[in-house]
Amino acid sequence: MRLIDIGAGNMVLDQRIVAMVTPDSAPAKRIVGEAKEQGRIIDCTGGRKTKSIIITDSDHVILSYLSCEALSERLNKDNGGTK
């Protein structure tokens, strides 16, 4: 169990991540909208543009200004290259 830096000094447990998606598609936008309505959104962008959406096993939706590729590299770097 490790904490992964998702930007702006924010961390998330790697084992809690279910998916990381880009915010460009209509389904991703719908997920964010529903999470906002239900109070399940965590905005970790620090006022920057959202480049990735992290969905957790607790059904929380986390917004990050780091790209999915950058987050994936951080996960793989800390895990010996495999995830």
The pTM of the full predicted model, rounded to 2 decimals, is: 0.90
* pLDDT interval class at 83 (50, 70, 90): very low
In the chain, domain spans: 3-78
- Over residues 13-63, the pLDDT tens digits come to 999 999 999 999 999 999 999 999 999 999 999 999 999 999 999 999 999
| Calpha distance 60→57 (Å, rounded) | 7
Cβ pair 40, 57 in contact under 8 A: no
Cβ pair 50, 23 in contact under 8 A: yes
Bigger pLDDT: 37 or 82? 37
* DSSP designation for 7: E
